[in-house]
Amino acid sequence: MENRVIFHIDFDYFYAQCEEIRNSKLKTKPVAVCIFSDRGEDSGAIATANYKAREYGVKSGIPIKFAKSRLKDRKDAVFIPADFEYYSKISISGMEIIKSFADIFEYVGRDEAYLDVTVKTNHNFETARHVAQQLKNEIRKKLKMTCSIGVSPNKLLSKIGSDFEKPDGLTVIKPDYISEFLSQLDIRNIPGIGKKTESILAESNCKKINDLLNMDVFELNSRFGRKTGTYIYNAARGIDLELVKEKQPSLQYSKITTLKENSKNYEFLSTNLLNLCKQIHDISIKNNKTFRTVSIQFVNEDLTIKTKSRTLKKSTNNLGELEKTSMQLLIDSLNEQELLVRRLGVRISELSDLEGQGDITSYF
Ligand code: DGT
Ligand code: CA
Ligand code: CA
């Protein structure tokens, strides 16, 4: 197993870089891509920002108002409304290039993927470095974009690696370099370790990945539960046996709305939800699609996101079924919901052609 060669590739400041490539004048300016809500003026949040804007503390998730005040001394700062359709097109072209380099291609999200290149590189990390550089060159040439790649024997380390030298990074972690590489990192560099876990560990003076090596797996399990405890234990040692699983980007439709007021009232949310279901259903009918998975999403008042999904036994295009499933997801989501909900969304995915042609896999 540990003979594998895995890439994790992630585009740098993706939405903002998409904007830069269609308007090169933006490159020297701070750029923030904004999701304006329909509560007027500057209400809404930043989806992402280029690295010039990040120097001023402008980043994903912060309110547009904060971003504007942080950049108030930069008269050249640019705030652009998000254009998801355009970003999807760039993503599709990018994924086509990435796919052509892989033995096994696993789509993760519109700007990232895992590749198993073990056969292609003949288990050799020098060859792998070369192939990763070629992939970066190809993306630069065809898309005019930069991306970052992590190369290692597993998904976990490659994911950490792609983040390590961002932007335009290439980090190769050969098997004999794993422990040295990890020893310089903080616990929060482990994917999936949130603020909460981090602060619990900090209480016992555990801040660096190296500090974790002194904790045994039983101790970690008893604190975080078996699943998370074992994950942390293995992650600190660079161990991850997850396979790269073939996965293509799949078509999905979603609708999200900013509520008239923040709320966690069932009646109020369900009225909005049914409205969204109707709109999503219209889109699926118009495009002749059936769906198999239904998801609902809360963007909470503090801009954190909560998503719940359910996969149906059979693919359908029935409005009643969409409504019923969404309402059930709403009830589940409101259970233990403390924050008020600011935006509410519905998504259908695993779409098929109504004529029964099987799964559509080549677009979003
Ligand atoms: P990076 O990879 O650190 O250079 O920067 P990004 O912007 O590529 O960050 P990443 O990979 O986490 O996210 C990819 C895209 O997803 C990003 O360009 C915009 C979107 N995105 C990320 N975080 C948020 C968020 O909190 N809200 C919304 N609406 N979109 C987000
Ligand atoms: Ca990215
Ligand atoms: Ca990403």
At a CB cut-off of 8 Å and minimum separation 6, what does 127 contact? 121
How many residues make up the chain in this entry?
A: 364
- Best residue among 31, 48, 58, 80 to mutate for probing ligand 1, ranked by most atoms within 8 Å of CB: 48
pLDDT in tens, 265-316: 999 999 999 999 999 999 999 999 999 999 999 999 988 899 999 999 999 9
Ligand 1 atom at minimum distance from 166 CA: 4
Cα 10 to ligand 3 centroid, rounded to whole Å: 5
Residues 215, 69, single domain; the answer is: no
Residues 288, 327, single domain; the answer is: yes
Q: How far apart are CA 71 and CA 55, in angstroms?
A: 10
Q: Which amino acid is at 230?
A: T
Residue nearest to atom 9 of ligand 1 (CA): 13
Q: How far apart are CA 344 and CA 184, in angstroms?
A: 40
Q: How far apart are CA 194 and CA 176, in angstroms?
A: 28
Cα dihedral 118, 119, 123, 127 sign: negative
In a domain, 200, yes or no: yes
Q: Are 364 and 110 in contact (CB under 8 A)?
A: yes
The pLDDT of residue 361 is above 70: no
- Best residue among 13, 14, 110 to mutate for probing ligand 1, ranked by most atoms within 8 Å of CB: 14
Last-in-domain residue among 172, 199, 220: 172
Long-range contacts of 192-197 (CB under 8 A, 24+ apart): 192/231, 193/232, 197/224, 197/228, 197/232
pLDDT in tens, 88-100: 999 999 999 999 9
Q: In this predicted model, which residue has the larger pLDDT, 195 or 104?
A: 104
Which residues form the catalytic set? 112
In a domain, 209, yes or no: yes
Cα 162 to ligand 3 centroid, rounded to whole Å: 10
> Which residue from 154, 155, 169, 235 is spatially nearest to 10, judged by alpha carbons?
169
Q: Is 250 exposed, middle or buried (0-12, 13-18, 19+ CB in 10 A)?
A: middle
Q: Which amino acid is at 148?
A: S
At a CB cut-off of 8 Å and minimum separation 6, what does 249 contact? 91, 92, 95, 107, 110, 361, 362, 363, 364
Structural domain boundaries, residue 261: 253-349
> Which residue from 172, 224, 163 is spatially nearest to 191, judged by alpha carbons?
163
- Nearest ligand to residue 62 Cα: 1
Residues 222, 334, single domain; the answer is: no
Place of tokens 């709109």: 279
In a domain, 146, yes or no: yes
Using CB distances shorter than 6 Å, the residues near ligand 1 are 10-15, 35, 47-48, 60-61, 111, 166-167
At a CB cut-off of 8 Å and minimum separation 6, what does 326 contact? 273, 274, 276, 277, 294, 296, 346
Joined tokens for residue 223 = 């604190």
Residues 30, 77, single domain; the answer is: yes
Give 175's DSSP letter. Answer: G
Q: What is the CATH number for 230?
A: 1.10.150.20
Residues 101, 212, single domain; the answer is: no
364 pLDDT band, cuts 50/70/90, is very low
In a domain, 192, yes or no: yes
Q: What are phi and psi of 99, to 5 degrees?
A: -55, -40
Residues 263, 117, single domain; the answer is: no
At a CB cut-off of 8 Å and minimum separation 6, what does 321 contact? 312
In a domain, 177, yes or no: no
- Best residue among 10, 31, 52, 60 to mutate for probing ligand 1, ranked by most atoms within 8 Å of CB: 60
In a domain, 80, yes or no: yes
State the total domains in the chain.
Answer: 3
Q: What is the CATH number for 15?
A: 3.40.1170.60
Residue nearest to atom 3 of ligand 1 (CA): 13
Joined tokens for residue 305 = 């996101």
CB atoms inside a 10 Å sphere around CB 240: 20
Residue nearest to atom 27 of ligand 1 (CA): 47
Model pTM above 0.85: no
Q: What is the CATH number for 314?
A: 3.30.1490.100
Cα 63 to ligand 2 centroid, rounded to whole Å: 20
Q: How far apart are CA 3 and CA 162, in angstroms?
A: 19
Residues 218, 313, single domain; the answer is: no
The pLDDT of residue 72 is above 50: yes
Residues 290, 149, single domain; the answer is: no
Residues 345, 263, single domain; the answer is: yes
pLDDT in tens, 321-360: 999 999 999 999 999 899 999 999 999 999 988 874 444 3
Residues 1, 150, single domain; the answer is: yes
Ligand 1 atom at minimum distance from 167 CA: 4
Cα 47 to ligand 1 centroid, rounded to whole Å: 6
Residues 48, 17, single domain; the answer is: yes
- Nearest ligand to residue 15 Cα: 1
Place of tokens 């769906």: 291
In a domain, 70, yes or no: yes
Last-in-domain residue among 123, 138, 172: 172
Cα 326 to ligand 3 centroid, rounded to whole Å: 27
